[in-house]
Structures are given as structure tokens and as C-alpha cells.
Amino acid sequence: MQTSTDSPPPSPTREIGNNSASNMHTTSTESPTPSPTRDVSNSTDLVRDVILWKRKNLSVLTLLGATAIWLALEVYEFKFVALFSWMSMLAIAFLFFWGNIHRLLGKEPVDMSAMYISEESTMAMGTKIRECVENCLRLIFSVSAEKEWLVFAGTVASLGLISVVASYFDLLTLLYFGVVVGLTGPFVYVKYEHKIKEWGLQVRVRYQRCYATVVQRVKEMKNKLHGIKNKLQEKKRKKTE
């Protein structure tokens, strides 16, 4: 009776177990994937949320801060440099105590390496600035060079209204009003968007009607003047004949 010296073939389950064990070993030795970093471009979303009052705490803090600065500079007549120095000292002292308290409690400091400015956000910001400059240049050209009388009259009237309003207020008050309007205007528009659009459509229809009547009156006046001019020319011809 012969005995075989060959070893039996390994079972497939054992190979699968060895492969899975080796895969687990390799994955355990690999470095963990870094957490996704946060781009500073998300600050635009934060500003949008603050303006639209989606983050009410930040919106209220912004409004209260602007009001406090306006009261301190305008009503109590503090100097801007002195107020800025006091605010900077308070901020530095708060950060100093906050960092020391975190260190005493054994907590890790805030990791600021996750914040960065990506190339895409920089390019997008540059594109927006270029578009704003191009739109301003087009508006200036349309007002000054092209014969658009309505745009010219509207621009002159707007600048005159701004000059009249600015004569009663200083720059600080105008900036404060700008902050208040910026925090209330978009919110009111989003909340009552349907009614505002209906009112704007009615105003636009009335404006088009008035514009059409004015244009028609001007044409009638031109035709009358042209007729009077032709009559005068005919009379001169008759006299000369």
C-alpha cells in the first residue's frame, strides 16, 4: 500500500481568510485620510445667511454692534482711533484668557490649519470684481457717450438726491443707515417678494404708458412745428414769386 507524500491542496476558505487578514493588516498600517479642509469661500454663505436672517444670533449681534459703534462715535463723541484701540485691547485680552483657560482644562487649541483660501475661490472673486468693473464702465459709457436720455436723467437725478440726503447726514450716519438697510431690505424683499413684484409690475406698466403718451405728444409737437415751418416756407416762396 502506497502512501502519497504530497500535501493536500489548501482549502479556498483558508486562502480567503488569509487574504482578508492581509488586507486588514495593510489597511490598518495605512495612514488615515485627512479630514476635508474648509475653504474660506464659505464666508459668502455666512454673509448671505446673516443678511437673510437665517442665523438670527449673528444678525442681531451685527445690528447691535453697528448701533453701539454709531452711538459711541456719533452720540457720545468718542474718537475712532481710541474706540478701535479699546476694542482691540478687549479682543486680545479675551483671546488671551480663553487660550489659557483651554490650556488649564487640558483642551487642545483651535486648529486653524483647516482654513485656507483656495485658488478657485480667488479666481471666482477676481472674476466677480472684473464683472463689476466692466458693468460700471458700460454704465458710464451709456450715460456719457450714448444718447440714452432716460439713463442720463435718472443718473443725474439719483446723484442729486444722494447729494441732498448727504448734506443732512455725515459719513458715519450714512454707513450706519447702509448697514441697517442691508440687514432689513433683503429680508423684507424675500418675505414679501410676491407682493413687491406685483407692485413693481404695476409701476412698470404705468411708466410705460406715461412714456408712450409723452413720446406721442412729442411726435405731435414735432409734426405741428414741421407743418408750421412748411407753411412759412410756402409763404416765402409765394412772396418771392
Write the CA distances from 75 to 69, 70, 78, 172, 174, integer angstroms: 10, 7, 8, 11, 15
Q: Are 214 and 222 in contact (CB under 8 A)?
A: no
Grid cell locating 87: 476694542
Q: Per-residue pLDDT averaged across 21-27, rounded?
A: 43
What is the C-alpha separation between 191 and 184, in angstroms, rounded?
Answer: 11
Q: What stretches of 100-226 adopt beta strand conformation (E)? A: 115-116
pLDDT of amino acid 148: 65
The band of 67, judged by pLDDT with boundaries at 50, 70 and 90, is: very high
Average per-residue pLDDT for the chain: 78
Locate 200 and state its grid cell: 413693481
Better-predicted residue by pLDDT, 166 or 151: 166
What is the distance between the alpha carbons of residues 31 and 189, in angstroms, rounded to a whole number?
A: 51
pTM of the model: 0.57
**Angle value at C-alpha 210, between 205 and 213, nearest 5 degrees:** 125
Identify the pLDDT of residue 42: 59
Q: Which three cell numbers stand for residue 106?
A: 487640558
Looking at the predicted structure, is the pLDDT value of residue 213 above 80?
A: yes
pLDDT in tens, 5-20: 444 454 444 444 444 4
* Rounded distance between C-alpha atoms, residue 123 and residue 118, angstroms: 9
Alpha helices in 9-148 (DSSP H): 12-29, 43-51, 56-70, 80-104, 119-144
The whole-angstrom separation of Cα 99 and Cα 87 is 18
